[in-house]
Amino acid sequence: MEVGDRLKIHAYKHDGQIYRTWDNTVLLEINDDYIVLGNNRAKVTEENGRTWYTREPAVIYFYNNRWFNVIGQLKQKGLFYYCNIASPYIIENNIIKYIDYDLDLRVFPNNSFKVLDEAEYELHYDEMEYTKDIDSVVKYELDKLIKMVKNNEEPFSNITIESYYQKYLKEIKKKGWQNIQKNILYWM
């Protein structure tokens, strides 16, 4: 893999069922700790077959050894983050794969945040028989993520996300991918 490659993303649940996929995601950086991707108007397919398209550009971090991923969403009202508590990723056949553990953290432009989907986590904890070890890791990683937000640690930085967004624009222009360049929101 190299910068500029197009990848897909597949999110699974603990029971092994795929529940959501994204297409047209462009690799922007790869290093020993994480990868960074960008997309805009990515087609999303739900487990029931319903499809929809993302509404704004996004910069996405997947970590090798952290149990979360971070999506910087470049909306007209500012930079929002959607953070999934999830297993570290793997890549197979140009598809990024991870297990989603339900809990999410929504971070707003003013740096306030809200933990989401706690009831879903409790339901799946019982239904999918999460182990106590998984429960401990999930809660530890959520706490780590909240501390990162409070301390303005990377990737929670407008400058960093804007830099990757500009790199995304250059990559799609260089590759001539006009179909994924349409409707790009120039947010800053």
Q: Is 20 a catalytic residue?
A: yes
End-to-end CA distance of the chain: 30
Describe the chain by its helix, strand, coil percentages, rounded to 5: 25, 40, 30
Q: Which residues contact 121 (CB under 8 A, 6 or more apart)?
A: 101, 102, 103, 138
Mapping DSSP to helix (H, G, I), strand (E, B) and coil, where does residue 130 land? coil
Q: Which of 6, 20, 41, 106 is catalytic?
A: 20
Partnered with residue 7 across adjacent β-strands are: 25
How far apart CA 165 and CA 73 sit, in angstroms, is 10
**Contact partners, residue 157, CB within 8 Å, separation at least 6:** none
What positions carry a catalytic annotation?
A: 20
